[in-house]
Amino acid sequence: MAPLDVSIAVSSTEKKALQSMKKRMTEWPVMPTSVVKSETLDATLLRFLRAKKLNVDKALKMLQGTINWRVVNQVDNILQEVAHQSDCLERVRRVRQAHPRMMSGTDSKGRPIYIERLHYLKDYLRPAGDLTESDLFYFHVYDME
C-alpha cells in the first residue's frame, strides 16, 4: 500500500478509515483508474469518506455509484472523442455561447467558485434552437473533466 500523501491534512480517525477503504478496494476485481488515479488516490478517497462521515461502507457504495455513472455515461470517452471529432470545435463554441459559465476566484476555504448562467439556456433549447440537452450534458462533463 502506498504511503499517505502528506500534503493532505488528515486526522488519525481519517487515516484509519482511509486505510480500511484502500484495503477493501484491493478486493475489487478491477481498480477504476479513471476515477481513482494513483497520484490523487488519497485525496479522492478522503472526499468520499468525508462525504459519508467516515463510514467506509457508505463511502465505498458512493464510489461504486460514481464509477457506474461514469461507465453508463461514457465519461472516459468524452475527452478522446472531443479531441478526434472534426465538428467538435464548432459544437464547443456553440455550447459555450449558449451556456455561459466561469470560474470566479475562491471561497473562504480556498475552493474554486464555479458559476453557471443557466437562464441563458432557454432560447437555445427551444425546438428552433440548435443544441440538445445531450450536447449540453456532454460538454458539461467535458469541461468538468
Question: Whole-angstrom Cα distance, residue 119 to residue 15?
Answer: 43
DSSP calls for 13-65: HHHHHHHHHHHHHTTSSS--TTTS-GGGHHHHHHHHHHHTTT-HHHHHHHHHH
Among the listed residues 8, 4, 33, the one whose alpha carbon sits nearest the alpha carbon of residue 16: 4
With bands split at pLDDT 50, 70 and 90, how would you rate the model's confidence at 129? Answer: low
Among the listed residues 123, 78, 82, the one whose alpha carbon sits nearest the alpha carbon of residue 99: 123
- Helix pair angle (75-84, 133-144), 10° resolution: 100
| pLDDT value of residue 144 | 75
pLDDT by residue (tens digit) across 44-76?
899 999 999 999 999 999 999 988 888 888 887
| pLDDT value of residue 20 | 94
With bands split at pLDDT 50, 70 and 90, how would you rate the model's confidence at 6? Answer: very low
User: What is the pTM assigned to this prediction?
Assistant: 0.69
- Is residue 128's pLDDT more than 70? no
Question: Whole-angstrom Cα distance, residue 126 to residue 133?
Answer: 10
With bands split at pLDDT 50, 70 and 90, how would you rate the model's confidence at 101? Answer: confident
- Is residue 14's pLDDT more than 90? yes
Structure-block grid coordinates of residue 57: 461502507
| pLDDT value of residue 48 | 94
| pLDDT value of residue 120 | 66
How many Cβ atoms sit within 10 Å of the Cβ of residue 21? 19
